[in-house]
């Protein structure tokens, strides 16, 4: 979970959002904002998103564009 913790810290620092880490299994990583899933690697468990991927999605969500 170190990679997820690092990403969570960067999300909080850059956006002011307060991520909550919930330990899962099998390498599944998921990000929800306001109850909506904005990212999951469920179909490709070995893939971890880049910061650019996640911050791009967060910006889209915050600007009101559909995901």
pLDDT in tens, 20-39: 887 777 777 788 877 888 88
- Counting the structural domains of the chain, the total is 1
How many other CB atoms sit within 10 Å of the CB of residue 22?
A: 9
Q: Under DSSP, is residue 17 helix (H, G, I), strand (E, B) or coil?
A: coil
Does residue 28 contact residue 42 with C-beta atoms inside 8 Å? yes
Domain span holding position 43:
2-62
* pLDDT for residue 47: 72
Residue 67, in any domain of the structure = no
Confidence of residue 66 (pLDDT cuts 50, 70, 90): low
DSSP state of 12: H
Mean per-residue pLDDT, 37-51: 78
Q: Would the pLDDT of 52 be above 90? A: yes
Q: What is the mean pLDDT of the chain?
A: 81
Residue 15, in any domain of the structure = yes
Q: Which residues on adjacent β-strands are paired with residue 40?
A: 30
Residue 7, in any domain of the structure = yes
Mean per-residue pLDDT, 42-58: 82
């Amino acid at each position: 979970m170190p990679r997820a913790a690092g990403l969570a810290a960067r999300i909080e620092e850059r956006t002011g959002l307060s991520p909550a880490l919930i330990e899962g299994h099998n390498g599944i990583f998921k990000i929800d904002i306001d109850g909506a899933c904005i990212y999951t690697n469920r179909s490709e468990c070995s893939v971890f998103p880049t910061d650019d991927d996640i911050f791009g999605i967060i910006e889209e969500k915050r600007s009101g564009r559909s995901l």
